[in-house]
Amino acid sequence: MAYYERLSAQDASFLAYEDADPTAHMHIGGVSVYEGGGLTNARGGVDIERLRAYVASRLALIPRYRQRLATTPLVEQPVWVDDERFDVRYHVRHTRLPRPGDDRELKRLAGRILSQRLDRNRPLWELWVIEGLTDRRFAMLTKTHHCMMDGVSGVDVSSVLMRLEADPTFEPATPWTPRPAPTGTALLTDEIARRARIPLQVVRGLTGVVRAAWTGRGHLQQSLGSAGEMVRLAWQGAAATPINRPIGPHRRFDWTVVPLADAKAIKNRLGGKLNDVVLAVVAGALGAFLRRRRVNVDILDFIAAIPVNVRAGGDTSLGNHVAAWLARLPIAEGDAKARFEHVVTLTTTLKRSGSAAPTAGLYELAEIGGRPALTAVVELTRRLSPCNLVVTNVPGPSFPLYMLDAKMLLACPQVTLLAEQGLGIAIFSYLGNLHFGFNADWDLIPDLHDLVSDVEAAFGDLAAVAGVDRTTAGAGQPLQRLEV
C-alpha cells in the first residue's frame, strides 16, 4: 500500500530557506568523541563495518532516517516517502585524521564537513566516523537536516545509538521493505482535498479564539502584545556588527567545556536558572569580542534568538515544535554580576510575556496559505533578520553514555547559521560539563578561537563574583586552546 507523510509548514520552511539562500546549510548536529572500546584496534582504527551494522540495527526506531523527500505536483508540497534505494553505507561514512590527530585537526575537518549540503535525493542525514585521534579515541560527526528534527526533541541517529551501559553485543538488523510511494496524481488529489477542509478549520479556530477572549480564559491581549513586540524587533532588524553581514558557504567549528557543577553553584549563589548563567557568559564574551573588533557596544541592541520548546506534553513525534524568544543581551555591561542580574530579569520577563508564541503563529498561517504563504514567511525572515545570532541550550544526561562499549567523552552541538548571522552557539550538558559548540562563517569570523577564549574568561569572571572556588568544584576537564 502506498505511503507518505506530509511535512508541516515549519519543517518545510527549512527546505524553502535553503532553496532561497545558496549559502545556507540547514542541518544541525555536532561532534562527539569516544573511547575506543571494542570498536577500535591497537592502532586506533575503527571497525566501520561493525559500526554500520549496529547503526542499521537501530534504524527501525527512527523510520524517518530511511525516508527521502518527494513533492506534490503543481502545489509543490514536500512529503516523506520510503527510500527504495536506501543504503546505510552511503550515510555512515569513514575518514581519518593524520596521526597523531588532535583537537585542532578534528575541528578543521568538522568545519569542512559542515560546509557541505545534504543531498535532497536521499534521506537527509550523514554520520561521519573519524579515526586517528590519540589514545585509541575516535570521533563522530552527525549532520541531520533541520526539517527532520529540532534541537529540543533531540531524536536523531546518535540518540538511538547511545546505551546506558557498555555492551559490545547487538541484534542484527531485521529485513526492511520500503513501502511504495504514491503516484503524483494521488498526492495532488489528497492535497486538494486537504485544502478544501481549510476554511472550516479556520472558522473553528477563530471561534475558539473569540470564545476564549469573551470568557476571560484566553491570553489574547498578551499574545497581541507579544506579536507587536516581535513585529517591532523584526522591523528594527539586527544591529550592524562585523559578524552580521552576508555569509558564505564555508564554516569553522570550535568548542570548549566548562564544569556544570560550577555553573550550578553560580546560579544557586546569585539566583536564577542555569540558562541565565549560559546567556550571561555568552553576553560577556560577545562584549569582549566585539570591543576587540573596535565596535561601540554601548549603542547596540544586540538580539539573540533563543529557541524554546512548544511541544505538547507527551508529544514524541519527529519534526519541529519550537519557537524563539528574542532577547536583548547586555553585552555592554562590564560587571559580571550586574550582567547576570540583567539576564535574570530579561528571561523572567520573557517567560511571563509568552513572546515566543508569534513565531509559531507565522507557521500556522503558512499551513493555511500553502506554498506562497510559506515562501512569504521565509522571505520575511531572511530579509528582516530580527536577531544577531542563535543561542540554544539543550539539557543532557549527567551519567555516561556508550556506543556499544565505547564511552562518550565529549558532545559538542552545532546550530545552523541564518542570513547575515556569522555565528551560532549551541550548548549541551553531559557528564558533569557544559559543552559549548561554535558554528561560524569562515570569512566573517577568522578569529573564532578568540571568542571561545572569551567565553572561558567570562565564565571565570562570573564564577569569581559568585564566590565559586573553581579549583575544587566541578568535574570539567580543561581542553587545550588551539587555533582553528
List residues with catalytic annotation.
Answer: 146
Q: With contact defined as beta carbons under 8 Å apart, do 264 and 276 qualify?
A: no
C-alpha span between 391 and 226 (Å, rounded): 20
C-alpha cell at 65: 532516517
Counting Cα atoms < 13 Å in the Cβ hemisphere of 42 gives 0
Q: Which uninterrupted H or E stretch holds 412? A: strand 406-414
CB 1 within 8 A of CB 178: no
Q: Report in angstroms the alpha-carbon separations of 456 from 33, 282, 354.
A: 21, 10, 32
Cell digits for 460?
Answer: 571565570
Secondary structure of the chain: what % helix, strand, coil (to 5)? Answer: 40, 20, 35
Torsional class of 480: left (φ above 0), alpha (ψ -120 to 50), beta (otherwise): beta
Contact 68, 121 (CB under 8 A): yes
Can you say how many angstroms the Cα of residue 72 is from the centroid of all Cα atoms in its chain? 28
Q: What is the DSSP string of 87-146?
A: -HHHHEEEEEEEEEE-HHHHHHHHHHHHTSPPPTTS-SEEEEEEEEEGGG-EEEEEEEET
Q: Which long-range contacts (CB under 8 A, 24 or more apart) does 339-343 make?
A: 339/280, 339/283, 339/284, 339/462, 340/266, 340/270, 340/272, 340/276, 340/277, 340/280, 340/462, 340/465, 341/270, 342/280, 343/272, 343/276, 343/279, 343/280, 343/283
Q: Are 114 and 17 in contact (CB under 8 A)?
A: no
